[in-house]
Amino acid sequence: MEDEVDRVVEAWARERPDLDLSPMGVLSRVGRVGHHLDAARRASFADHGVEAWEFDVLAALRRSGPPYELSPGRLVRETLVTSGTMTNRVDRLVARSLVERLPDPADRRGVLVRLTERGRETVDGALRALLERERALLGSLTPAEQGRLASLLRQLSLAVEHRA
């Protein structure tokens, strides 16, 4: 069965037979799947009243385990944003009662950001919705095929990140 990437590669091969187009066959498909994944994420998060950046912060706190709290510095490392951006994000999440700031008992000058019950319910619901949509995206692959694909993508991801 032929897809749009096959048609694009065939057209380029006709126009530029001197080029090895094999990377396009792989990475164009990864990009197209990524586009569908982004749409699934936006829809899942919107269904639960959160944006992607909000989910990222809430999810980092949720994954940390009870009592679901992290320092702002750890949140910066977990979400790969600047400290100024994180301060703004935490402020906005506090205003929505999804997180709260607490004094850090180990550091009198420090604070901890803790997931509220409302925040936990929100991130849990958004995660469930996301996993349903992701499962649907992968529905044409058997569990074994999904495992092989995950392994190959891990290998590629590690190589790309190592080069960066």
- CB of 85 closer than 8 Å to CB of 73: no
pLDDT at site 164 = 72
Q: Domain 51-135 falls in which CATH fold?
A: Arc Repressor Mutant, subunit A (1.10.10)
Q: Along the chain (164 residues), what's the average pLDDT of each consecutive run of 10 residues?
A: 96 97 96 96 96 97 97 94 95 98 91 98 97 97 98 96 86
pLDDT at site 108 = 86
Token pair belonging to 12: 């380029």
Q: Where are the domains of the chain?
A: 1-47, 51-135
pLDDT at site 102 = 96
pLDDT at site 146 = 98
pLDDT at site 45 = 97
pLDDT at site 132 = 97
Q: How far apart are CA 65 and CA 70, in angstroms?
A: 10
- CB of 83 closer than 8 Å to CB of 72: yes
Q: How far apart are CA 90 and CA 125, in angstroms?
A: 20
Query: Which of helix, strand or coil describes residue 129?
Result: helix
Say whether pTM exceeds 0.85: yes
